[in-house]
Amino acid sequence: MANELSGRSVAVLATDGVEQVELTEPVRALKAAGATVHVVSPKEGSLQGWNHLDKADPIPVDQPLEGADPARYDALMLPGGVVNPDQLRLQPKAIAFIRHFVESGKPIAAICHGPWTLIDAGGVEGRRMTSWPSLKADLTNAGARWEDSEVVTDRGLVTSRKPDDIPAFSRKMIEEFREGRHAA
């Protein structure tokens, strides 16, 4: 439905090294569903997208993380790419931004390596999740119940494994973002 998310605001937290399609395709789906979407980043101006191991396109940043207020957003999307979440995990402001969504019970969607940042934000313990397979041990060690599925939803947390899962990920993300808050 074209206006499922009308009136909803979604933050997409990313930085250099993001897997481009894992940002652009879910953002396209969110906008098609009527959401207002902002790419939030520690970078200003633009960040560098990647297509696996190859440099892709610059992606415009809508809101620098420095001045971003997570309270103004209804939901959070975390795209993958190995470098993107690895860099975000080292930035206290990025983890605090994510932690706001975890603690407030706002819905979160994370794909591929995106769930990595949820470990540092305290958002995986006791949750059913999936991710890129190399994160299985990290997520399990942090208390998640990892499974190899196209998309996994647990109390407002939507996770997927890889770019091939984007259609299912986007559908489930829109559904959860439409439903709103969940028990943290």
Active site residues: 112-113
183 sits in the region (left: phi over 0; alpha: psi -120 to 50; else beta) called beta
Q: Which residues make Cβ contacts (< 8 Å) with residue 62, sequence separation at least 6? A: 37, 38, 39, 40
What angle do helix axes 166-179 and 20-32 make, rounded to 10 degrees? 50
Dig out the tokens for 90 from the structure: 């080292």
Which tokens in the block code for residue 121?
């934000």
**Could you tell me if 129 and 115 are in contact, meaning their C-beta atoms sit under 8 angstroms apart?**
yes
Inter-CA distances, 120 with 53, 70, 95, 126, 140, Å: 25, 17, 7, 15, 13
What CA–CA distance (Å, rounded) separates 98 from 100?
Answer: 5
